[in-house]
Amino acid sequence: MTTPALLPLSGRRIPTLSPGASSFPHHRATLRLSEKFILLLILSAFITLCFGAFFFLPDNSKHNVIGVYYHYQSPLLSCTSQGAISAHIFPVHDQESLRDKIRADHERALQEAKEKLRKSKEELKAEIQTEKTKVVEDLKKKDGPKPLPPVPMPKLVGVKDGDPGDPDTKEKRDKIREMMKHAWDSYRQYGWGHNELKPIAKKGHSTNIFGNSQMGATIVDALDTLYIMGLHDEFKDGQEWIKQNLDFSVNAEVSVFEVNIRFIGGLLAAYYLSGQEVFKVKAVQLAEKLLPAFNTPTGIPWAMVNLKSGVGRNWGWASAGSSILAEFGTLHMEFVHLTYLTGNPVMHIRKLLAKMDRPNGLYPNYLNPRTGRWGQHHTSVGGLGDSFYEYLLKAWLMSDKTDTEARKTYDDAIEAIERHLIRKSNGGLTFIGEWKNGHLERKMGHLTCFAGGMFALGADGSPDDKAGHYLQLGAEIAHTCHESYDRTVLKLGPEAFKFDSGLEAVAVRQNEKYYILRPEVIETYWYMWRFTHDPKYRQWGWEAAQAIDKYCRVSGGFSGVKDVYSSNPTYDDVQQSFFLAETLKYLYLLFSSDELLPLENWVFNTEAHPLPVLHLGNITLPGSETQR
């Protein structure tokens, strides 16, 4: 058989032969010169390819390849000629040194590449950080808080001292001051920056009203109490924390009501008392974060809002997705002051409520922010309703008694409350029950005990010369609430108490027997003292202070107790921020002279933060048609 000729490597077609002619030459004994050249070229390419591939093999494979190479019998070359060519091109004794050199060069090049990459990353990171810093600074300049308009500071009277003069009273006041310092120092040591303190566990604590974010609620809530008590070093520590750390851009869903009364109220009070601008600026920044909560069809705000996204919603347990009367009705005081300081009007809720029908003249606790309709017909002067009525009266007082719309709304509400909710027990105790679907529940909550002070505060200016009547009503509520304390083992009041089945001013359910350092009873004692100077109110207040110090004080602060009827109570392990903001402040004021924060010049918000009376002249309060 004849052997086919090799195709040209150029890839060109073979010329077409004439039909019938053979494709192969005949009678050839030797290769032509050109064919020898082509064969040699192919051989050279093959050898080059083999040695080139050798350098790309792993090291352990190269040993095997070398061994195989020298024993491989090429079909084109003899063993002798192949070994001679290999030995000539790649001697055996140079294999190891060449491989080491290649490896060393490779490792050196790799290290150099890594070093260049590291430097490049560091330079890029530094460049990015520089650009980021520049962008942030530019945004601050462009979108940062605008300077607030200059406004005259309201007349501030009685912000210092308040020495009672009497040595015995002064000694009691000093004791209250010491209790405040113990509560603050414990928080400073164990819970600094957290919202509240767990005094038994000695660590920070938070609740869902702050979205479990750590916003330093105790710091903000306690500032004005520290200032009033003359604890200025502690006040400066709190001020510095607020300046450096208080941030409202957190992704946290917070209670609009609680953040308003504790944070905005606390910051505004600290500003008015100290004159430090940082508090005013922070209050305005926070208020802007709360405003998206008002984006509802009726303008009635959601109960909760996400500070970062602005998304609002209501509590899942509230009747038919309703907002809570005490929550949306307890924004007026703080936002009126923000209007005064910024010039920006705020949503006012009274207009809507004035248009709505009220069952028996009472305000139900639930209102749907979408439809503007009442939810469940449940009316209470305690939880869910309390501070709505309080703020009607205090709006009038804060306006220097010019907001007559607020006063009229308050008077009408109190008249309905007297007619439907206030009763006397068989033992002669005056109490305020709760109206539920046409039925009066003969139960009164600790929160309701604030009403004694409210009645006394609103006595002056009452219609039909009823000032004496309401001052007496306040005294009767104060007496009932004192009885709720006096009828317990610890001399501290329960969360709620009944007036039926032969029981009066006593808690029945186990889940109503706790005391969580609440201030409402002591608040009423203070108001009654200011308006009557009856010494029993100071005596009752001192009894409460001693009981708190005896049963609630622990090494890490002050804790609530779970059963005021037990001689060996267990702790709830929470030092509430309102204990420093309200309970201790009211006790301190109770044992101070009337010159400290006189009620003619100051109005306390529902978290006991004092705000000055505004003599507004011709300024229009939000939502009011009356020119001031």
Active site residues per annotation: 258, 386, 495, 520
Q: Is residue 568 packed enough to be buried (19+ CB in 10 Å), middle (13-18) or exposed (0-12)?
A: exposed
For residue 492, the 8-state DSSP code is -
Cα separation, 120 vs 112, in Å, equals: 12
Give the number of residues written for the chain. Answer: 628
Find the angle CA(378)-CA(383)-CA(386) to the nearest 5 degrees: 90
Answer left, alpha or beta for residue 14, where phi above 0 means left and psi between -120 and 50 means alpha.
Answer: beta
Per the CB < 8 A criterion, the answer to whether 381 and 453 are in contact is no
E strand or H helix at 611? strand 610-612
Backbone angles phi, psi at 335, to 5 degrees: -75, -25
Buried b / exposed e over 330-366, threshold 16 CB at 10 Å, is bbbbbbbbbbbbbeeebbbbbebbeeeeeeeebbbbb
Per the CB < 8 A criterion, the answer to whether 390 and 454 are in contact is yes
Partners of 253 in the β-ladder? 306
Displacement of CA 131 from its chain's centroid (Å) = 30
Tokens matching residue 152: 């005259």
- Residue 606 annotated as binding site: yes
Of 495, 485, 503, 514, the closest CA to residue 445 belongs to: 495
Buried b / exposed e over 438-464, threshold 16 CB at 10 Å, is eeeeebbbbbbbbbbbbbbbbbebbee
Of 131, 161, 303, the closest CA to residue 228 belongs to: 161
Name residues whose C-beta falls within 8 Å of residue 119's C-beta, 6 or more positions apart in sequence. none
Name residues whose C-beta falls within 8 Å of residue 549's C-beta, 6 or more positions apart in sequence. 175, 179
One-character DSSP codes across 414-443: HHHHHHHTEEE-TTS-EEE-EEETTEEE-E
Strands of 253-255's sheet in order across: 253-255, 304-306, 312-313
Give residue 140's identity as a one-letter amino acid code: K
Task: Using the structure block, give the residue that is written with the tokens 């203070």.
Answer: 526
Name residues whose C-beta falls within 8 Å of residue 53's C-beta, 6 or more positions apart in sequence. none
Pick out the residues of the known binding site for Ca(2+).
606
